Structure 1
């Protein structure tokens, strides 16, 4: 087993997840890059290793109980504790579909990844997180997860009307608060972050920020000190409204 500080990032083979993994590795952590596609995950790992970064691949499909269990067992054999968990994996299936026409299948599939995924992964890694003696958990939220912003006509996020994606991110904020309350006595801080409108495959590369820029807040909250907050929602300019 290694004594280095350990981090796990889900959905780390591309986009914001890859940028977060790279940033945490550059900060000196040993990073486990979770991805459901082994070939793409291993390719991303090789690219960062070529830059001299300490990263490893772990096969992890956040929507699959067995996959998450195997990933937790893998890390349990290799490390003593998990110091940082970034629940980054996410999907959007309703970019072009009005709420009244969205199938329940797409709603459930979205929730399986965006909401149940972070719950499933966090629960699976609780023993390793507690063993760290002050771990950090970051939930990848969204501006559309803020009821305040999506109902504010002056906000860009009020122009978005995605039934499944938006509601999954609203619910994720509540999940963040629940875990933060439970884990506070163990020194574990849990926060949600809003990356901004980032150019990723998720939105057809329509954003105006780079993945590196979108990763900044997640990395900051993953490395926040003992004086830092827990149970909050943060963007690049500080706290975001719920």
Structure 2
């Protein structure tokens, strides 16, 4: 059967891909402060398109194997490669030097493994296994936005190592067995979506109070909440 390439969900997925591509170009062609901020805004736009393509596919019934593969490829660019580049820039801004920045390539490797595992799993509808790549990307991007305001300021000696450690933790979380709740809504009613609505409301308050870096704090809340629930479940 001939695959249909041009559908509304696929067009939205391509918008996700183009946002990631433009983000990588910005990291190469712009000054550090502007590059980090543009990259984060483009990550946010890519995350919106990533949510909308699935929503529109469900709404219109335009699921297809091509769409699924395209979505994974777009996510690889926008939420794996782009945040890796941003993480390397953050490391240097934190006072890092030399080849230690290569540690951040773990984000690329683990992100690719996370996407591959998701592609062959059919039990990640209500819960994810491991940190979703968009969540990892937005955490990195939000921290990049924060660091863009500190360009020219001296960094503490320990900060470069803290940044590397954070990169390793994020990478390992993506391939971990930790269960994390999905933000894919089961309809728009409150019943069955209690955790999602509550999380989004708390996240909105955090962002309104803290500004753009608040997105990173919201992702941190998501990670900590999921870890606690997962550990409690394991102890039962």
Tell me the TM-score range normalised by the shorter chain. 0.3 to 0.5
Q: Which has the larger radius of gyration?
A: 2
What is the TM-score when the length of structure 2 is the normalising length?
0.35
